[in-house]
């Protein structure tokens, strides 16, 4: 048996940038995924250095390409569009790769099981706040919302607290944060996080107050959840590997959207006249926020697809609150998620869920437009 396990050691490296230094031994299966710690740290330090170097050099290099190499004028539409695209695409992808990696590592310290334990029997209020916060760092895919929901209910997590988690987890995610940071600066990104958490906390609390437990499908209360034991003990090398895996999974999935989105953004950046957008989506039109939310709720997209377009819209005079409300409604609520949740929730509760969250997002959009 043991001679076989050596095979797994040799196959265990699909992680770029980190060399495999495993020596086959009797304990190969135990050691397979583990590399000497200094290798991991050295690899990380080198990667960080390359990352920072690329980030710093990006602007001068892109300017040199657009204005010197391609001889485009700084004042022309084409020059500005090309420069926008050539600079923003690698910048956003660099940021995305870095943050997704870090979040991937942070998430190895959390799990749905430990979050369930932390929230079980927790009172509302404090519970809503904790659930919204844990929603950011707990690895969670809305495709596994059903077992998670049942597991939370079974552990005595109040319904409203469970909803705070289910709202915050998709809405406050690293892709949205990175894109907002990369395209609008840290203030907007921070505001998005704070407002997203506020909506998750408030909406969950409101749903809890509404006493809607009777609209949960009855079978949910009958299911017995087996013993959950933590199945893994991770080393830093494992955590690094998870971070790299997260880059594969997330950046690998969203990069075409980022590139396409920035291309559209670049086109608008250079060409669409400012007055059109300001008229349609500016602060003057009060109905623009509810309209944006109504449009965004059924849509299913990651933040990557929507955001660069929004950037260009704002650049042309659309109100930031309207744009953020649109993005939140796209990311937080979607038709596929509703269909999944329908297996454990009756329509009445789904309607309450959508109504409360959409209401919260609309309110945030209005307030935002008023304040800024």
Partner 1 sequence: MVTIEVLGSGCANCQRLEMIAREAVAKFGIEAQVGHVTDIKEIMARGVIATPGLAVNDRLVSTGRVPSAAEVMTLIANVLAEESAGS
To partner 1, the closest distance from the beta carbon of 300 in angstroms equals: 14
226: contact with partner 1 by CB under 8 A: yes
Give the binding range for partner 1 (CB under 8 A) out of 43-51, 52-60, 140-148, 319-327: 140-148
- Give the integer Cα–Cα distance in Å for 183 and 199: 23
Q: Are 295 and 328 in contact (CB under 8 A)?
A: no
Q: Which residues, listed in sequence order, are joined to residue 216 by a DSSP beta bridge?
A: 345
Longest Cα separation, the chain: 73
Strands of the chain, DSSP E:
none
Which residue shows structure tokens 């004028």?
A: 73
112: contact with partner 1 by CB under 8 A: yes
Write the CB contacts of 241 (distance below 8 Å, at least 6 apart in sequence): 15, 18, 33
- Give the integer Cα–Cα distance in Å for 331 and 199: 13
To partner 1, the closest distance from the beta carbon of 235 in angstroms equals: 13
218: contact with partner 1 by CB under 8 A: no
32: contact with partner 1 by CB under 8 A: yes
Number of residues that bind partner 1 (CB under 8 A): 40
104: contact with partner 1 by CB under 8 A: no
- Give the integer Cα–Cα distance in Å for 258 and 62: 18
19: contact with partner 1 by CB under 8 A: no
158: contact with partner 1 by CB under 8 A: no
224: contact with partner 1 by CB under 8 A: yes
233: contact with partner 1 by CB under 8 A: no
- State which residue, 247 or 325, has the beta carbon closest to partner 1: 247
63: contact with partner 1 by CB under 8 A: no
33: contact with partner 1 by CB under 8 A: yes
30: contact with partner 1 by CB under 8 A: yes
To partner 1, the closest distance from the beta carbon of 330 in angstroms equals: 20
- Give the integer Cα–Cα distance in Å for 166 and 207: 12
217: contact with partner 1 by CB under 8 A: no
- Give the integer Cα–Cα distance in Å for 293 and 327: 8
- Give the integer Cα–Cα distance in Å for 163 and 169: 10
Q: Which residues, listed in sequence order, are joined to residue 345 by a DSSP beta bridge?
A: 216
Give the binding range for partner 1 (CB under 8 A) out of 5-13, 127-135, 193-201, 307-315: 5-13
Q: How much of the chain is in helix, strand and coil states, percent to nearest 5?
A: 75, 0, 25
- State which residue, 145 or 319, has the beta carbon closest to partner 1: 145
Q: What b/e sequence results for 108-136 when a residue is b if at least 16 CB atoms lie within 10 Å of its CB, and e otherwise?
A: bebbbbebbebbbebebeebbbbbbbbbb
To partner 1, the closest distance from the beta carbon of 35 in angstroms equals: 14
> Residue 30 in 3-state DSSP?
helix
Candidate list 151, 160, 182, 261; residue touching partner 1; CB under 8 A: 151
Candidate list 90, 139, 298, 317; residue touching partner 1; CB under 8 A: 139
Which positions lie near partner 1, rule CB under 8 A? 1-2, 4-5, 7-8, 11-14, 29-30, 32-33, 111-113, 116, 139-141, 143-144, 146-148, 150-152, 154, 223-229, 231-232, 245
């Amino acid at each position: 048996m043991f001679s076989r396990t050596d095979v797994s050691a040799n196959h265990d490296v699909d992680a770029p940038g980190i060399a495999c230094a495993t020596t086959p031994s009797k304990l190969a299966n135990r050691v397979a995924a583990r590399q000497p710690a200094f290798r991991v740290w050295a690899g990380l330090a080198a990667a960080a250095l390359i990352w920072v170097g690329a980030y710093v050099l990006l602007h001068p290099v892109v300017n040199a390409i657009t204005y010197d190499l391609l001889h485009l004028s700084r004042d022309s539409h084409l020059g500005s569009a090309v420069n926008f695209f050539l600079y923003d695409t690698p910048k956003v992808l660099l940021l995305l790769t870095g943050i997704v990696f870090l979040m991937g590592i942070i998430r190895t310290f959390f799990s749905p099981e430990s979050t369930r334990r932390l929230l079980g029997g927790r009172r509302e209020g404090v519970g809503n706040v904790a659930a919204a916060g844990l929603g950011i760092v707990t690895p969670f895919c809305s495709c596994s919302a059903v077992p998670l929901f049942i597991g939370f209910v079974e552990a005595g997590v109040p319904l409203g607290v469970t909803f705070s988690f289910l709202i915050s987890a998709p809405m406050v995610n690293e892709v949205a944060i990175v894109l907002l940071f990369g395209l609008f600066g840290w203030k907007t990104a921070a505001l998005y996080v704070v407002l997203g958490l506020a909506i998750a906390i408030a909406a969950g609390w409101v749903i809890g107050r509404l006493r809607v437990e009777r609209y949960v499908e009855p079978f949910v209360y009958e299911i017995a959840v087996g013993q959950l034991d933590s199945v893994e003990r991770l080393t830093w090398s494992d955590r690094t590997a998870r971070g790299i895996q997260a880059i594969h999974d997330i950046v690998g999935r969203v990069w075409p959207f980022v590139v396409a989105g920035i291309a559209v953004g670049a086109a608008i950046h250079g060409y669409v006249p400012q007055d059109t957008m300001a008229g349609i989506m500016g602060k003057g039109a009060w109905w623009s926020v509810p309209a944006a939310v109504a449009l965004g709720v059924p849509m299913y997209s990651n933040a990557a697809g929507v955001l660069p377009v929004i950037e260009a819209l704002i650049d042309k005079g659309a109100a930031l609150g309207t744009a953020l409300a649109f993005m939140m409604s796209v990311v937080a609520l979607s038709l596929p998620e509703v269909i999944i949740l329908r297996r454990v929730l009756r329509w009445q509760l789904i309607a309450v869920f959508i109504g409360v969250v959409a209401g919260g997002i609309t309110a945030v959009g209005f307030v935002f437009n008023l304040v800024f």
